[in-house]
Amino acid sequence: MIDTALIDQVYVACFPCDMRKSINGLSALVQLTFDMDPFANHLYVFFNRKGDKAKILRWSNNGWWLYYRKLSRGTFKWVFNESQTVKGISERQLRWLIDGLSLNQPQAHCPVKKRLII
């Protein structure tokens, strides 16, 4: 699994991506289409139109990481919304997506916001 300990944010493309793109093409999409810094401490996630392939781009210290996942059966539960270019999600939601679940998990425990012990 992807080490997300040092990741600030996860961004997912809201449009299908051409999976022939590699590091240079995806980082150009991040910079030109998302209007974001591809060298930031973020994960950038891209899905193909069929929803059975995903690529995740990440910059780390002095080089790029490109994670690729192709499902043998089924699809990722990502719904494209081409009125947006990018959507920020949590690291937890990314794990759900990669595991074949939707972003909305009504049975999941909600994060506790209260920080009071006594």
- pLDDT tens for each residue of the chain, 118 residues long: 566 667 789 999 999 999 999 999 999 999 999 999 999 999 999 999 999 999 999 998 899 999 999 999 989 988 888 788 999 998 988 988 888 887 776 666 677 777 777 7
Please name which of 67, 87, 66 lies closest in space to residue 78, comparing C-alpha atoms: 87
Paired sense of beta strands 9-13 and 42-47, if any: parallel
35: left (phi over 0), alpha (psi -120 to 50) or beta: left
Confidence (pTM): 0.84
- For residue 16, what is the DSSP state? -
Q: Where are the domains of the chain?
A: 9-98
